[in-house]
Structure 1
Amino acid sequence: MPKRILNVVTNVGHYDDPSHKTGLWLSELTHAWHVFEDAGFEQVLVSPKGGAVPLEPRALKFPNYDKTAKAWRADPARMALLENTLSPEDVDSADFDAIYFTGGHAVMYDFPDSEGLQRITREIFERGGIVSSVCHGYCGLLNTRLSDGSYLIAGRRMTGFAWREEVLARVDKLVPYNAEERCKERGALYEKAKLPFVSYVVVDGNLVTGQNPGSAKETAEKVAALL
């Protein structure tokens, strides 16, 4: 049986201010997808509500827009996958060996409080499967509790998009909260690279987290190696 990965994507298309668009940071999906595909894994897309996934406009501009993202957008079959994602209620966690949370600022809105995603994450983690995220994807881990009531990330080494990176990206006034700070409030042992926007990945047991868009490939490679 090939290993199976559940890729989590967003349904949100804008910040609190509807004139500021956001969505899935496409390369965070495509870089990982290629790694998992090359490893022979089966992949499924899920989103908090199911259905269509908006794309982050900033991710489709140079230098963020790379060949994997371009190839995905040029492939009607791949784009169709982003129109028809599963909802958490459609997912049996026992079917998956790992869950991978993609990012983009949109996920700050719909990932943290999805009880369905929390259930799937908890079940995969507690039976020794891999829980992973890249960039803002760690917002999907902020409120996930284990069966004993403790936060999944409490006491665990991890990373995710840093507040300094929010400031440098000039979205610190747009985002709904400081994800790095919330992560620390949950008891996580948050780490980040010395320089912003360079690839940085932390592995703590079966928890694998990458800091920013440039970390997606390395994050997926660490997940693949563990599997």
Structure 2
Amino acid sequence: MKKLLLIVTNVNQYASGLATGLWLSELTHIYHAAKEKGWVVTIASPKGGDVPIDPESLKPLVLDTITRNYHEDLLFMKELNSSKSLNEVKNENFDCIYLAGGHATMYDFPDDVTLQVIIKNQFEKSKMVAAICHGVGGLLNVKLSNGDYLIKGKLITGFDWFEETIARRKREVPFNLEAAIKERGANLKKAFIPMTSNVVVYNNLVTGQNPFSSKEMAKVVVKELVKTQK
């Protein structure tokens, strides 16, 4: 039985005051896929407790059936808003650590020291580290024991700057994620068509580009974890 740690944000607004939070489908699809396998899932956040949801992720054009069902599930929502803090789970062992996205993660993921330690230890044990969309920002400042940035020289993906234009958030975000990824020496692989699914596997590192990668991301993570059982 696999154990997954799904990490989500606690931030509910941009610096301007505009509402943001977790992009819900980036959590629900991996949660659903893991539960279908009978695996153990823990939801955690930097501070623990309440997890705000980006209202944009609940709009009819992007709200898929699985995500809508979970949003209407009172037990799931109670679990989400009772998230454990990273300090509570930092010494536990997991088969996969998964960083869900949402613009809000750009504020509380990159500089969280506990998050960095958790990811570093996970990666250096050759266990899976996964991140989707803006959640990839949580990998930016993770350094390995040799002092190199974790993503240096790795093939990864993440929400790119043109997609930020499409999302009309270029003036809201605290930094350019695409530029930051490249500054760390990573090789960024973008989808040929913006806002379409793109998942990249590089050894034990799995990344997804955008919310439209949520379903594929869940399938790939499960597939890669099943491989390790054999």
* TM bucket, shorter chain: over 0.9
Matched residue, 1:221: 219
Deviation at 1:75, TM superposition (A): 1.1
In structure 2, what is the Cα distance between the partners aligned to 1:83 and 1:69?
Answer: 16
Where structure 2 has 5 or more consecutive residues not aligned to the other structure, the ranges are: 226-230
Moved more, 103-112 or 92-101: 92-101
Amino acid at match of 1:189: N
Matches of 2:19 and 2:107, distance apart in 1: 13
Task: Point out 4+ residue stretches in structure 1 off by more than 6 angstroms.
Answer: none
Alignment-mate amino acid for residue 76 of structure 2? R
Give, in angstroms, the shift of residue 93 of structure 1: 4.7
Q: Normalised by the size of structure 1, how large is the TM-score?
A: 0.97
Q: Counterpart of 2:58 in structure 1: which amino acid? A: L
C-alpha contact 2:90 2:114 (8 A) present in aligned 1:
no
Q: Assess if the C-alpha contact under 8 Å between 2:133 and 2:158 holds in 1.
A: yes
Measure, in 2, the Cα distance between the counterparts of 1:72 and 1:93.
29
Deviations 1:4-43 (A, max 9, x none): 010010000000111x100000111111111112222210
Q: Which amino acid letter does the alignment assign opposite residue 168 of structure 1?
A: I
Q: Is the 8 A contact 2:9 2:21 kept in 1?
A: yes
> For 2:95, which of 97, 101, 113 is the aligned residue?
97
2:114 aligned with 1:116, yes or no? yes
Tell me the amino acid that sits aligned with residue 6 of structure 1: L
Aligned partner of residue 95 in structure 1, secondary structure = coil
Unmatched segments (≥5 aa) in structure 1: none
Cα distance per residue 1:88-140 (max 9 Å; x no partner): 11114542011111011000000001111111111111111100011111011
Residue in structure 1 matched with residue 64 of structure 2 by the alignment: 66
Q: Alpha carbon RMSD of aligned pairs, Å? A: 1.0
Q: 2:73 aligns with which of 62, 75, 88?
A: 75
CA contact (8 A) 1:93 1:123 kept: no
Q: 1 CA distance for matches of 2:111 and 2:191?
A: 28
In the superposition, the TM-score normalised over structure 2's length comes to: 0.95
Mapped contact 2:100–2:132 kept (Cα < 8 A): yes
